[in-house]
């Protein structure tokens, strides 16, 4: 019996709708936890945890705590990637969900700086680091869950479900904050209302845990265990055999991270309701409910584009779709800030939605693309490392430099920076190969000789098992 036949039968033994639901719900909850922090950082954390700083410095400090998570995401990718490659994808997903949920609820219970002084922001940073570890291991496990179950020609289709998680989470977090903002005074919201979205997370995590416990381990991983193909130290093998692909993947996804987080976090502050002079916050002077409502609308459009781009990638290839997203991003970055005008909710909504669309075009195929690039032996680790490297380049750095670029050059400074991210990602994806037709369940045992002469893969007879790393067989 061929491995492809075995994979097909194993896949059909578990309904794909259950796998899709487990990946979608899990990533939605994990990223909801991640994003409510970002929304709170933009709206209240500066005043709650850094009250002694000025408005601009407090917001910058608040965003800096947000960036801490991105620095810990690669470590989370290595830690949980090791567990995923050694113990299985399912156990990893359960672990990351519990860790993220615990940290999020703890933020909701954290005393403010007024109560415990400097210990408050320190504890906030520690909890944000824990969130970074959890989300660093989450995405790769969820992506592999769908990719390793999905039929070969439909990996883009099923891979879209974990990709819908961030957009769904952004809409859910915006809706939660919108409800609290509309049902209480600004003073009550700043005093205790901001805690509600964090505490609600415990219910969502409980449901997500139940869903994930109902699924079985992926057939591709089970076959790797049966063939004794697991790497002893996945991170070492990944860096030895596919370090180039890890770096290129990080660069390829930098734009989508940058556009997503500038849209979901920085623009929330940029459009803020209280425009003090000579700062980067409150430039557009919009009300908090208006900003959050625009965030919900942008997340709906973004989710639709994620689904469409993932489906299209099954027909034209992952690489082409991601290239289109980066080309659009280069142009959009240059027009975004001149487009948005003070007092115009419509133009802000258009700007936020367009930014979400750029990110979504490139994001849709990613859950199929990354697993197809890396060998099964260390796939969870390598995919997570590449993905979370992009998190640092596109998530942490833009949020740190955006306030200073705006202060020095105005909004156009951030726009040019965003266009540069699109250019970087375009160059990196051009250096990668198309992977749509790669079989995920092929037996791959890396060998140093094959790395030196990857062209030998072309001489193998059809159907032969390659001894080269995964990248030597990528179309």
* pLDDT band at 173; cut points 50, 70, 90: confident
How confident is the model at residue 321, as a pLDDT? 97
Does 309 reside within a domain?
yes
Torsion of CA 132, 134, 138, 140, to 10 degrees: 60
Q: Give me the percent of the chain exceeding a pLDDT of 90.
A: 33
Q: Are the C-beta atoms of residues 391 and 73 closer than 8 Å to each other?
A: yes
Q: Is 370 left (phi over 0), alpha (psi -120 to 50) or beta?
A: alpha
Q: How far apart are alpha carbons 248 and 64 in whole angstroms?
A: 26
Cα distances from 454 to residues 238, 446, 457, 472, in angstroms, run: 16, 11, 6, 5
Q: Are the C-beta atoms of residues 384 and 296 closer than 8 Å to each other?
A: no
Q: Are the C-beta atoms of residues 412 and 337 closer than 8 Å to each other?
A: yes
Cα distances from 433 to residues 317, 425, 438, in angstroms, run: 10, 14, 11
Contacts of 110 (CB under 8 A, 6+ apart): 120, 123, 124, 127
Average pLDDT over residues 243-267: 92
- DSSP character at residue 410: -
Residue carrying the six token digits 């179950």: 149
Element (H, E) at 290: helix 288-316
How confident is the model at residue 68, as a pLDDT? 83
Does 470 reside within a domain?
no
Residue 65, domain CATH: 1.20.1250.20
Does residue 2 register a pLDDT over 70? no
Average pLDDT over residues 433-460: 53
Distance of CA 92 to the CA centre of its chain: 17
Cα distances from 452 to residues 348, 359, 438, 449, in angstroms, run: 52, 36, 21, 5
Does 273 reside within a domain?
yes
How confident is the model at residue 5, as a pLDDT? 43
Does residue 276 register a pLDDT over 80? no
Does 458 reside within a domain?
no
Q: Pick the residue with more confidence: 20 or 34?
A: 20
Q: In terms of residue numbers, what domain contains 99? A: 3-443
The count of other CB atoms within 10 Å of the CB of residue 448 is 9
Average pLDDT over residues 47-67: 75
How confident is the model at residue 464, as a pLDDT? 31
Does residue 415 register a pLDDT over 90? yes
The count of other CB atoms within 10 Å of the CB of residue 278 is 7
Q: How far apart are alpha carbons 323 and 364 in whole angstroms?
A: 12
How confident is the model at residue 54, as a pLDDT? 65
Tell me the per-residue pLDDT of 12-26, one tens digit each, with 9 for 90 and over.
456 788 888 888 887
How far apart are the two ends of the chain, measured CA to CA in Å? 25
Sign of CA dihedral 234, 240, 245, 247: positive
Q: Are the C-beta atoms of residues 137 and 72 closer than 8 Å to each other?
A: no
How confident is the model at residue 470, as a pLDDT? 36
Residue carrying the six token digits 């037996």: 443
Number of domains present in the structure of the chain: 1
Q: Are the C-beta atoms of residues 195 and 76 closer than 8 Å to each other?
A: no
Q: How far apart are alpha carbons 220 and 225 in whole angstroms?
A: 9
Does 415 reside within a domain?
yes
Cα distances from 461 to residues 2, 16, 466, 473, in angstroms, run: 16, 33, 10, 13
Average pLDDT over residues 460-468: 32
Q: Pick the residue with more confidence: 237 or 460?
A: 237
Average pLDDT over residues 162-190: 84
Tell me the per-residue pLDDT of 331-361, one tens digit each, with 9 for 90 and over.
999 999 999 988 899 999 999 999 999 999 9
Does residue 466 register a pLDDT over 60? no
Does residue 462 register a pLDDT over 50? no
How confident is the model at residue 4, as a pLDDT? 44
Q: Give me the percent of the chain exceeding a pLDDT of 70.
A: 87
């Amino acid at each position: 019996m061929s491995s492809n036949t075995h994979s097909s039968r194993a896949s059909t033994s578990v309904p794909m709708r259950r796998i899709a639901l487990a990946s979608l719900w899990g990533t939605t909850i994990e990223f909801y936890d991640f994003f409510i922090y970002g929304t709170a950082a933009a709206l209240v954390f500066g005043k709650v945890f850094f009250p002694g700083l000025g408005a601009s410095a407090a917001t910058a400090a608040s965003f800096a705590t947000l960036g801490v998570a991105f620095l810990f995401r690669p470590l989370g990718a290595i830690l949980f990637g090791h567990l995923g490659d050694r113990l299985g994808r399912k156990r990893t997903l359960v672990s990351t969900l519990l860790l993220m949920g615990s940290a999020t609820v703890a933020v909701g219970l954290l005393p403010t700086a007024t109560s415990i002084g400097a210990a408050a922001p320190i504890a906030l940073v520690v909890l944000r680091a824990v969130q970074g570890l959890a989300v660093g291991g989450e995405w790769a496990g969820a992506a592999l869950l769908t990719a390793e179950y999905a039929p070969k020609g439909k990996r883009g289709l099923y891979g879209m479900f974990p990709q819908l998680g961030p957009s769904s989470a952004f809409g859910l977090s915006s809706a939660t904050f919108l409800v609290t903002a509309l049902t209480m005074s600004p003073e009550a919201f700043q005093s205790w209302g901001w805690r509600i979205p964090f505490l609600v997370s415990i219910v969502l995590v409980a449901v997500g845990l139940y869903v994930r416990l109902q699924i079985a381990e992926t057939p591709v991983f089970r076959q790797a265990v049966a063939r004794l193909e697991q790497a002893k130290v996945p991170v070492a093998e990944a860096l030895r055999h596919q370090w180039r692909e890890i770096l290129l993947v990080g660069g390829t996804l930098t734009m989508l991270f940058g556009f997503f987080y500038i849209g979901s976090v920085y623009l929330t502050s940029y459009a803020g309701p209280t425009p003090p002079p000579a700062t980067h916050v409150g430039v557009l002077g919009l009300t908090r409910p208006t900003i959050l409502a625009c965030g919900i609308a942008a997340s709906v459009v973004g989710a639709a584009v994620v689904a469409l781009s993932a489906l299209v990638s099954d027909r034209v290839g992952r690489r082409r779709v991601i290239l289109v997203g980066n080309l659009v991003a280069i142009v959009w970055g240059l027009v975004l800030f001149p487009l948005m005008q003070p007092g115009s909710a419509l133009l802000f909504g258009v700007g936020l939605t367009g930014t979400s669309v750029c990110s979504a075009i490139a994001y849709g195929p990613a859950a199929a693309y990354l697993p197809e690039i890396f060998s099964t032996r260390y796939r969870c680790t390598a995919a997570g490392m590449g993905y979370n490297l992009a998190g640092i380049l596109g998530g942490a750095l833009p949020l740190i430099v955006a306030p200073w670029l705006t202060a020095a050059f105005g909004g156009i400074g951030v726009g040019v920076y965003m266009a540069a991210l699109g250019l970087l990602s375009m160059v990196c994806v051009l250096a990668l190969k198309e992977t749509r037709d790669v079989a995920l369940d092929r037996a791959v045992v890396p060998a140093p000789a094959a790395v030196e002469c990857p062209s030998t893969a072309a001489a193998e007879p059809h159907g032969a098992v390659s001894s080269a790393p995964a990248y030597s067989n990528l179309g």
